[in-house]
Amino acid sequence: MPNTGGKGDAKAQATGVKPGQNAPRTGRLARTAIAGAAAARMGVAQLGHKAKGLLRDAAAEKQAQAEHDAQLGRIVFAALNQLKGTALKASQLLSMELGLLPPALRQELARAHYQVTPLNRALVIKVLRQELGASPEALFGHFEPQAFAAASLGQVHAARLAGGQPVAVKLQYPGMAHTVASDMQLLRGLLLPLAASSSKLPNSGIVTQVLDDIERKLADELDYTHEAQALQWFAEHLCLDGVVIPLPVPALCTRRVLTMQRLQGFHLQEWLQTQPSQALRDHYGQLLFDCFMRSTFALHHLHADPHPGNYLFMEDGRLGLLDFGCTRVLDASFCTAVQTVWSALLRSPVDMASVQRAYVAMGLIRADVSAHTFANQLMPALASLQDWQCLPFTQAVYDFAQHPAYPEQSAEDQRIALQFLQTVAPDMPYFDRAYLGLVQMLKAIGARVRTSNLWIGGDQLHE
């Protein structure tokens, strides 16, 4: 049977966790003790790594560094996993900050995508009474007490309105909003010392900037009225044939409860198990690609949570978009800069001057970097990432099944890139996450997509 809205894949399915188990720890002392223990473990691990480094040759250093990064990631993740809730959500977001953390550390934090904390029936009823002033039986014609999807901040129940309309009801776990500030402060206590002592992380100012942005975004995600407004806005403005967005039910929406239309369809892995034809793969891939391009470069509004569980493949050929808790209004100048950079990279020869001007405009590098230094030091260090981003636009129709994996920079390239990095454009983390998620989706689908478009292109492209 197809799913009915919400995340039905690995992120959302109950993974053997019984209702009420592993509830978030909301006591300040308990949370502080967990973070303190993690900081101590990280300190010991770093001292041990440095001591052993005296005995390693250059050939063994690369593997040892990767193992050390993974060890630090396991320590941070273990602490965040004990804290649950907003701390676990922060772990998800950090794992998608491609330029912030070493790859092995990010991979450990990415495990947060698979953690769930389901509420028991009594707490479900309590949340509904507190937010909407009545029991489920009084609010809905039918309400399923067992959630069909659960993630780090809340869970989703199937229900029907009194008139029979199917809806999805998203409930936030109790106590989440009260832990955001303290959890982020604890996370700063773990990562800022690491940034100060490691050349593999940006400077402390940039790390602070990213963590501050995550804190603001968590506060937004915990106010479901923002998500209801985003659902309404995208439904009215993202007018693409074949794309459907569930509308909210305003009378049944509060800061901690979101009621919306329930869509019928398959999530990615379920849909792939039906062995869809290449024509269907291409059809849905084109919808995903067009949705991203139009949202970014025409509307300047981004659906910025790239998880596969946020898409439904509907039996009538439509694509359902879910979970608008993480959206971003993009600055027009940022979108123009991205267009400039990618189009300049696609020209032959590459238009180095346009790329440099755009990077300066975004605040990524200083204006006093010489053209020679930019072309001969920074650009080679970024080449693998730039090539990966632009490759789909080198052909009028691109086969994403053949797209390479996201490139891992060498330690030296990473060091050079961080040396030039002045700040992170506020919109960039959201754009990077959304684009990475798009490419991963299209690769998993095996879609052949018409990438020729109105916004990105080079002088000799698609001739």
Helix, coil or strand: residue 369 = coil
Measuring CA to CA, which residue among 395, 396, 227, 454 is closest to residue 326?
A: 227
- Amino acid identity of 264? Q
Which pLDDT belongs to residue 161?
98
**Would you write out the chain's pLDDT as a tens digit for each of its 463 residues?**
445 554 443 343 333 334 344 444 445 556 566 656 766 666 666 656 555 554 545 556 566 766 767 777 677 767 666 666 677 677 767 766 656 676 766 666 665 554 445 677 888 999 999 999 999 999 999 999 999 887 668 889 999 999 999 999 999 988 888 778 877 887 787 778 777 766 667 778 888 888 888 888 888 889 999 999 999 999 999 999 999 999 999 999 999 999 999 999 999 999 999 999 999 999 999 999 999 999 999 999 999 887 788 999 999 999 999 999 889 999 999 999 999 999 999 999 999 999 999 999 999 999 999 999 999 999 999 999 999 999 999 999 999 999 999 888 887 888 899 899 998 899 998 999 899 999 999 999 999 999 999 999 854 443 3
CB 148 within 8 A of CB 158: yes
Q: Peptide bond before 429: cis, by omega within 30 degrees of 0?
A: no
Domain definitions of the chain by residue range: 28-113+177-221, 121-175+222-328, 330-450
Superfamily of the domain at 121-175+222-328: Transferase(Phosphotransferase) domain 1 (1.10.510.10)
How confident is the model at residue 376, as a pLDDT?
A: 97
Return the half-sphere exposure (C-beta side, CA atoms, 13 A cut-off) of residue 167: 27
Tally the residues of the chain.
463
Return the pLDDT at 206: 84
Give the pLDDT of residue 196. 72
Residue 74 confidence (pLDDT): 73
Q: How far apart are CA 417 and CA 380, in angstroms?
A: 10
Kindly report the CA angle at 97 between 92 and 293, in degrees rounded to 5? Answer: 100
Tell me the whole-structure pTM to 2 decimals.
Answer: 0.79
